[in-house]
């Protein structure tokens, strides 16, 4: 089965967490809006019996699945990117949902007053939110995942086997490095386990090939992870 991924064509955004899973799995997929434009995306959104609230969504045969973590729940079960037993499966999904919460907070560093307003119209608030993000939230979230990596008993967050959460954690590290190079550089010494994890994921053959391809959209200031100099002090 060839999957169809639907997401905004110009950004990594939330779609990237799905792309990384599809690429690691070596799955056959089309990145539809990149190939055929957003009109094709809106058409599926409106016509589906299970219309997603927002991209990304995945068409898998007759299923149309929205919400990033939900897509990964589906793909994880099919491509060996999550455990099969109920307890471990719920655990991995729980971690993916915690990643989703962190991603939302990353977004809010540059859009604290609302996603419909321009960044330029909420700069002062963005500075305050970013301060709080780095003083309170990053230590809490990344400290939690670092703690898990220390106790995992394997090369990956939940043990010996790679899951989609590891792929997402790679993306978190990449994104924070892009958006906040100075802050992240100073912080990385506190998370050696996650940096090691990042490097192991980056070295996996399928991920390595993907990152070197033009399927990997460069980071930019329309996505989740945005670099604004004044927020990286």
**Contact positions vs a second copy (CB under 8 A):** 50-53, 62-63, 65-67, 69-70, 73-74, 86-87, 90-91, 93-94, 97-98, 101, 104, 108, 112-117, 122, 125, 128-129, 132-133, 135-137, 141, 144, 148
On the 0-12 / 13-18 / 19+ scale of CB atoms within 10 A, 194 is buried
Nearest distance in Å: CB 65, a second copy: 5
Nearest distance in Å: CB 132, a second copy: 3
User: What residues contact 13, with CB distance under 8 A and at least 6 apart?
Assistant: 7, 56, 223, 224
Nearest distance in Å: CB 50, a second copy: 4
Of the pair 116, 213, the CB lying nearest a second copy is at 116
Residue whose tokens read 């802050």: 183
Collapsed DSSP state (helix, strand, coil) of residue 34: helix
Q: Please, which residues bridge with residue 159 across strands? A: 156
Of the pair 102, 167, the CB lying nearest a second copy is at 102
Of 18, 180, 12, nearest in space to 109 by CA: 180
Of the pair 152, 206, the CB lying nearest a second copy is at 152
Of the pair 13, 52, the CB lying nearest a second copy is at 52
């Amino acid at each position: 089965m060839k999957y169809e991924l639907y997401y905004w064509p110009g950004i990594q955004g939330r779609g990237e967490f799905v792309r990384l899973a599809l690429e690691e799995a070596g799955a056959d997929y089309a990145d539809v809006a990149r190939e055929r434009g957003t009109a094709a995306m809106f058409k599926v959104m409106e016509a589906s019996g299970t219309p997603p609230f927002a991209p990304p969504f995945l068409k898998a045969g007759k299923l149309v699945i929205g919400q990033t973590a939900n897509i990964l729940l589906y793909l994880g079960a099919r491509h060996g990117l999550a455990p099969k037993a109920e307890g471990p499966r719920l655990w991995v999904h729980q971690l993916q949902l915690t990643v989703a919460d962190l991603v939302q907070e990353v977004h809010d560093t540059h859009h604290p007053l609302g996603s419909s307003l321009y960044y330029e119209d909420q700069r002062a608030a963005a500075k305050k939110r970013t301060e709080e993000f780095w003083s309170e939230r990053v230590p809490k979230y990344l400290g939690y995942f670092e703690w898990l990596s220390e106790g995992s008993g394997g090369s990956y967050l939940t043990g010996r086997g790679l899951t989609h959460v590891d792929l997402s954690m790679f993306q978190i590290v990449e994104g924070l490095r892009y958006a906040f190079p100075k802050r992240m550089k100073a912080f990385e010494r506190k998370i050696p386990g996650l940096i090691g994890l990042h490097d192991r994921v980056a070295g996996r053959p399928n991920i390595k090939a993907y990152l070197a391809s033009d399927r990997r959209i460069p980071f930019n200031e329309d996505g989740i992870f945005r670099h604004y100099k004044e927020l990286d002090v």
